[in-house]
Amino acid sequence: MTTRRNLIKSTVAAGVGSISFGVPLLLKAQNQYKAEYRMSTVVGTAFAWGKGGEIFANLVRERTQGRINIKQYPGASLVQGQQDREFTAMRQGIIDVLCGAPINWAGTVRELGVFTLPFLFPDHKAWDAALANESIVNDYYAMVRKAGAEPLAIGETGFRQLSNSKRPVTKPEDLAGLKIRVVGSPMYGEIMSGMGGNPTFMSWADAQPALASGAVDGQENPLEVFMAAKVHTLGQKFVTKWNYSNDILLYAIAQPIWNSWNAADQKIVREAAIEASRQQVKLVRSMFADDVEKVKALGVQVHVPNPKELEAFQISTRRVYARWKAQINSSLITKIEEAVVKSRKA
């Protein structure tokens, strides 16, 4: 694999003793497209998320006749599975293309977690209303640009649901004493401890053996992920479909890479991301539609809280919500809240 640094190094070496030859070659090398652009996804193509990445890479390859060759690295393997390092690695030039959940980046750029606040979106109607709002998306994209990447499109990783090996969770108190694996932002830890649970931060790669061995009692992920990763085989017998948090699936390109492409290619890449995100959202929603039946069929007990039960969970997260809203981007979150309220009346 030819990295940019290696290319420059070898170009400089070739130019030794021949300055007039070496300098133009060096400039040329810097402007050249790379043979491969590395895209990180936490999960592979058996998951809607990984599939969304694959669709994007394929569309770009086809439409640029291979000029832009995006290679997918599932399992966050470019950062040895440490998904919370993705954004930093993108800034360091290790990752060129992001197709990921800002949950994993919120420890690096906490503002990017605005969509994940607990119980912000009651349903997909509310979610769609917020993401159809240009002002919300523009504000978000401005934050992504400021953080060092060019945002292209927004998909959906899915409403996250709780599972555990011990007992049905129908009210916050049921979480007392349960050791729950959470990911990324400390906000998730605060949500769980606010309900009396015992959160523990872990990568997805580490979470699966920890569930299997019983080192942790539970986890939270979209049921689509639960099914694709066969989490029921890891002793997870109880699910609560509480839709407590959802995250976007952001398609973005590291700024220096984006700037190295010509305008025509940039347009192709952006359109490919928009198309891939649409297909990905369709996929994730078709799985969401019948996930309760499918998960029950695996022998898992699924609890779908009624509105009163949901309210109790929501109330238990109010303080955390307020704290994080104030800390991350209060005005943008207010805009999202307003879009959600409007969607209730529509």
Residue ranges in contact with ligand X2X by CB under 6 A: 42-43, 83, 101, 103-104, 183, 204, 221, 225
Residue placing its CB nearer to ligand X2X in the complex, 53 or 260 = 53
Sign of the Cα pseudo-torsion (173, 178, 181, 186, in order):
positive
Residue placing its CB nearer to ligand X2X in the complex, 210 or 302 = 210
- Three-state SS for 162? strand
DSSP state of 42: S
Shortest spacing between CB 105 and ligand X2X, in angstroms: 10
Residue placing its CB nearer to ligand X2X in the complex, 83 or 316 = 83
Task: With CA atoms as reference, report the closest residue to 255 among 102, 147, 154, 111.
Answer: 147
Per the document, the length of the chain is 346
Shortest spacing between CB 241 and ligand X2X, in angstroms: 16
Shortest spacing between CB 100 and ligand X2X, in angstroms: 7
Residue placing its CB nearer to ligand X2X in the complex, 103 or 250 = 103
Which residue of this chain has its Cβ atom nearest to ligand X2X in the complex? 204
Shortest spacing between CB 203 and ligand X2X, in angstroms: 7
Beta-carbon contacts of residue 247 (< 8 Å; ≥ 6 apart): 101, 102, 103, 115, 116, 156, 157, 158, 160
Residue placing its CB nearer to ligand X2X in the complex, 159 or 258 = 159
Structure tokens at 1: 């694999």
Distance CA 92, CA 88 (A): 6
Task: With CA atoms as reference, report the closest residue to 310 among 162, 103, 115.
Answer: 162
Residue 161 β-bridge partners: 221
Shortest spacing between CB 95 and ligand X2X, in angstroms: 14
Q: How many CA atoms lie within 13 A of 80 on its CB side?
A: 0
Residue placing its CB nearer to ligand X2X in the complex, 72 or 83 = 83
Shortest spacing between CB 321 and ligand X2X, in angstroms: 19
Shortest spacing between CB 119 and ligand X2X, in angstroms: 18
> 320: phi > 0 → left, psi -120 to 50 → alpha, else beta; which?
alpha
Structure tokens at 76: 């966050």
Residue placing its CB nearer to ligand X2X in the complex, 42 or 253 = 42
